[in-house]
Amino acid sequence: MRALAEGSAPLRPLVNRFVAGTDLDAALPVIAGLATDRLVTVDHLGENTTDRAGADATVAAYRALLLRLTAEGLADRVEVSVKLSALGRGLPDGAALALAGAQEICTAAAEAGTTVTVDMEDHTTTDATLTTVRELRADFPWVGAVVQSQLRRTEADCRDLAGPGSRVRLCKGAYDEPASVAYRAKGEVDASYARCLTILMAGEGLPMVATHDPRLVELARRLGRDRAGGYELQMLYGVRPAAQVELAAAGEPMRVYLPYGTEWFGYFMRRLAERPANVAFFLRSLVTQN
Ligand code: FDA
């Protein structure tokens, strides 16, 4: 399926909706365009790296990205998002390898004057990811954590993470998780999101409200009004772009999560899974090609 998808020309327009190109040269003009009215967080696509060379290449790609952001004068409005599995966490001694890679990326981000947020992957990695974020914060207190409202544990995690200066991105969660650890019904995930958001807004950190759900965006605006520490609204590149522009024009701090790179398959499949209409289009594209 992956090989078929990656070679599929008719699929490109749908992929391009969510992914800003396969290399940095293609992504940079898109980043610069968005940064005229929005903030951006850039993800160099990749996950579940299977060897040391792949982990090293990911670190090198982030260093090159951060240098280019500085050279283009974008680093004050653009940060980066990183997956620990792309830094080799799944390898033997992976925790130490991923921590070392993330520290290198954070050092480059500090030199550029910007920040790093550590993406959250499936629930088997939650504890390890939050441990790495805590370790990174010893030297780089501005490192952002991500929590997923679909997980039953996340209200407690929000309480732990709501301390002074703590940047926390709250999303619903993009992975198919079992009922033993996750809410499965959309209504339950949404209600959990509202509870988690309320905890973060009452805390002392920076809540980063990552959702396209209009009701939750409105709740964030209401809870965040006059909040001393501020907050950010965050959406994915290609999802509700008109709402992004409108919210930014209304003075909301709106950040766009922008992925680029050749390893787009896993990210793209999660975007399809969120929208049945996208799946139908995807299957039609494959059939048209063959
Ligand atoms: P929901 O899925 O209920 O969608 C609400 C509305 O948004 C839909 O009705 C539709 O209009 C629109 N919409 C949502 N997804 C769409 C799509 N793919 N195509 C078209 N329209 C769509 N997840 C994770 O597990 N780990 C992470 O680190 C991150 N990081 C992250 C960063 C940022 C900035 C965002 C915005 C999201 C993430 N996510 C994530 C993904 C997140 O968990 C979730 O899967 C998606 O944001 C979709 O959930 P919504 O909150 O938008 O709600």
176-185 own/partner pairs: CB under 8 Å, 24+ apart:
176/273, 177/122, 177/123, 177/150, 177/151, 181/123, 181/151, 181/152, 181/153, 182/123, 182/150, 182/151, 182/152, 183/149, 183/150, 183/151, 183/152
Q: Tell which atom from ligand 1 comes closest to the C-alpha of 257.
A: 34
Which positions are annotated as active-site residues?
119, 169
Provide block-wise average pLDDT over 10 residues at a time, the chain (290 residues): 72 89 96 98 95 97 98 98 97 96 98 98 98 98 98 98 97 97 98 98 98 98 96 97 98 98 91 82 64
Ligand 1 contact, 257 CB (< 6 A)? yes
Which domains are present in the chain? 38-66+79-108+115-130+141-288 (3.20.20.220)
Ligand 1 contact, 278 CB (< 6 A)? yes
State the distance from the centre of ligand 1 to the C-alpha of 3, rounded, in angstroms: 25
- Burial class, 214, CB count within 10 angstroms (exposed 0-12 / middle 13-18 / buried 19+): exposed
**pLDDT at 290 (0 to 100):** 37
Global pTM?
Answer: 0.96
For ligand 1, atom 9, the nearest C-alpha belongs to 213
Chain center to CA of 224 = 21
Ligand 1 contact, 47 CB (< 6 A)? no
